[in-house]
């Protein structure tokens, strides 16, 4: 069967492409911007990519068109699919019907930490020789591709609350029918499709309704929104985890940066682990993955052993290198809570060294200015802050950054941003770049200019 995927370079749709290819289908696809790392991964799988939306790519007609949720009515190739009466389906529906049937699905949900936790869980199951299938919304460190079918009975999926397709406005995760669910956190996000937090809560509860009574809900605590979600009704055993002393399962720091931490069940310590990651938020993500794997039969001590060899997904506090002893990191953070957690994690590692935070408010929610009141606070632990704010952003970033005083600069072009960072950076500094997009290639441009400037 020839499957053609619209919007193939998104992390989720790229994973769908990898699964379809592994299943033996001929796979092609298109996107507005075909760029690494997903384009590189897809080309390595022998998947033909087309730049843009020319309807000619549908000749000869594919047997099935899988439509990404970034596609909308009015797009030329979408209109051609509809006009020609070609069979089409959403990515989540295709996944549910062609991959997840008969599998023990382990779903990782939450506003933050999905990619990291999903990667951890897939690695733990693989380390335990369970050969899981998985679909991860990023490029994992322990696997060559972001998705695979696996040969066991378990499938790990990063379960996103974003909408499914232009013709199906339910959250993606409603399609998956999981047996094990991680509920990591719940905050307001995706303001382009959800009117308020209650709308997201209702969608999370719609997914909770599909989890069988023989399954398990692994729920972070404290989290008022998750509590409110479960108060709408839950029919599945629940396990609570976190740093809170009231949680059934807890993580506690052994080292200040959380590179070594301990796992407790109540007051009983079940073991410690030392790994490459840092930050309390990552230790909590790890505990969620350990508990999900435990529900699938993996002993806690085996899961903790697996974490010692865990390599995080790309763009999760990823060290890109150092120029003249100025270290540059790339992180996907795009929500105030995630920004604050990432900065806290890096601060725990570098101590009092200078931290320069560079932010692109790129997500739909950020572009709408939804989080402008809390954004400055999330950046407060940085020594200097640089925010990219193009003229068409639509809200006053400079005013939002005013609580930071002279520490913050708001700049409207990437070139000017690179110049400003280079002018301030000095040996021993750490530059943290945060965006959920390509950020105009700032990472390479900054490192090149740092090298030239010295």
- How many angstroms separate the first and last alpha carbons of the chain? 55
How far CA 354 is from CA of 16, 61, 383, in Å, comes to 41, 56, 6
186 shares a domain with 263: yes
188 shares a domain with 80: no
Query: Are 147 and 41 a contacting pair, CB within 8 Å?
Result: no
Query: Which helix (H) or strand (E) covers residue 76, if one does?
Result: helix 76-84
What is the chain's length?
A: 454
444 shares a domain with 393: yes
Per-residue tens of pLDDT for the chain, all 454 residues:
999 999 998 889 999 999 999 999 999 999 998 766 677 878 888 999 999 999 999 999 999 999 999 999 999 999 999 999 999 999 999 999 999 999 999 999 998 889 999 999 999 999 999 999 999 988 888 998 889 999 999 999 999 988 999 999 999 999 999 999 999 988 877 667 777 889 999 999 999 999 999 999 999 999 999 999 999 999 999 999 999 998 999 999 999 999 999 999 999 999 999 998 888 989 999 999 999 999 999 999 999 999 999 988 777 778 888 888 999 999 887 788 888 988 988 998 899 999 999 998 877 667 667 777 888 998 999 999 999 988 777 788 888 889 999 999 999 889 999 999 999 999 999 999 988 777 888 888 998 888 876 5
82 within a domain of the structure (yes/no):
yes
299 shares a domain with 334: no
422 shares a domain with 293: no
111 within a domain of the structure (yes/no):
yes
292 shares a domain with 322: no
249 shares a domain with 145: yes
- For 373, the domain range is 318-453
Q: How far apart are CA 375 and CA 335, in angstroms?
A: 8
274 within a domain of the structure (yes/no):
yes
Q: How far apart are CA 30 and CA 53, in angstroms?
A: 7
Domain boundary among 249, 283, 307: 307
**Looking at residue 191, what is its pLDDT?**
63
81 shares a domain with 106: no
Tokens of 47: 């998947």
Q: How far apart are CA 454 and CA 440, in angstroms?
A: 23
28 shares a domain with 104: no
55 shares a domain with 106: no
Query: Are 43 and 23 a contacting pair, CB within 8 Å?
Result: no
Number of structural domains in the chain: 3
267 shares a domain with 199: yes
312 within a domain of the structure (yes/no):
no
331 within a domain of the structure (yes/no):
yes
* β-pair type (408-411, 216-220): unpaired
Domain boundary among 258, 287, 307: 307
DSSP 171: E
357 shares a domain with 276: no
**Looking at residue 11, what is its pLDDT?**
84
């Amino acid at each position: 069967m020839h499957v053609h995927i619209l919007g193939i370079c998104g992390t989720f749709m790229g994973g769908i492409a990898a699964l379809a290819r592994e299943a033996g289908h001929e796979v092609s696809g298109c996107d507005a911007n075909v760029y690494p790392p997903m384009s590189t991964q897809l080309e390595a799988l022998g998947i033909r990519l087309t730049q843009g939306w020319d309807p000619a790519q549908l000749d000869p007609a594919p047997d099935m068109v899988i439509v990404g949720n970034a596609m909308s009515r009015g797009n030329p190739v979408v209109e051609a699919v509809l006009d020609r009466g070609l069979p089409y389906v959403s990515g989540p529906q295709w996944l549910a019907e062609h991959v997840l049937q008969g599998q023990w699905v382990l779903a990782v949900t939450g506003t933050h930490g999905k990619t990291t936790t999903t990667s951890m869980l897939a690695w733990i199951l693989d380390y335990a020789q369970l050969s899981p299938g998985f679909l991860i919304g990023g490029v994992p460190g322990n696997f060559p591709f972001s998705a695979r079918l696996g040969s066991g009975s378990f499938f790990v999926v990063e379960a996103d609350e974003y909408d499914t397709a232009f013709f199906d406005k339910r959250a993606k995760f409603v399609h998956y029918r999981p047996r094990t669910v991680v509920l990591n956190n719940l905050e307001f996000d995706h303001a382009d499709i959800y009117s308020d937090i209650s709308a997201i809560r209702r969608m999370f509860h719609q997914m909770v309704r599909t989890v069988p009574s023989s399954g398990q809900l692994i729920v972070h605590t404290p989290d008022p929104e998750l509590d409110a979600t479960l108060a709408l009704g839950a029919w599945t055993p629940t396990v609570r985890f976190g740093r809170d002393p009231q949680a059934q399962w807890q993580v506690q720091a052994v080292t200040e940066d959380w590179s070594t931490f301990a796992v407790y069940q109540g007051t009983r310590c079940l073991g410690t682990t030392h790994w490459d990651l840092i930050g309390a938020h990552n230790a909590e993500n790890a505990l969620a993955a350990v508990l999900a794997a435990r529900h699938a039969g993996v002993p806690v001590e085996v899961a903790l052993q697996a974490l010692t060899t865990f390599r995080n997904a790309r763009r999760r506090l990823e060290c890109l290198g150092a120029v003249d002893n100025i270290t540059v990191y790339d992180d996907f953070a795009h929500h105030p809570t995630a920004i604050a957690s990432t900065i806290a994690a890096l601060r725990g590692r570098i101590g009092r060294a200078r931290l320069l935070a560079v932010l692109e408010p790129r997500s739909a929610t950020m572009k709408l200015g939804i989080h402008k009141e809390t954004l400055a606070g999330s950046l407060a632990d940085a020594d200097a802050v640089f925010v990219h704010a193009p003229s068409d952003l639509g809200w006053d970033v400079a005013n939002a950054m005013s609580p930071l005083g002279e520490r913050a600069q708001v700049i409207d072009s990437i070139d000017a941003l690179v110049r400003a960072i280079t002018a301030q950076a000095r040996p021993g500094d750490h530059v943290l770049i945060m965006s959920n997009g390509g950020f105009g290639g700032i990472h390479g441009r900054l490192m090149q200019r740092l090298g030239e400037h010295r």
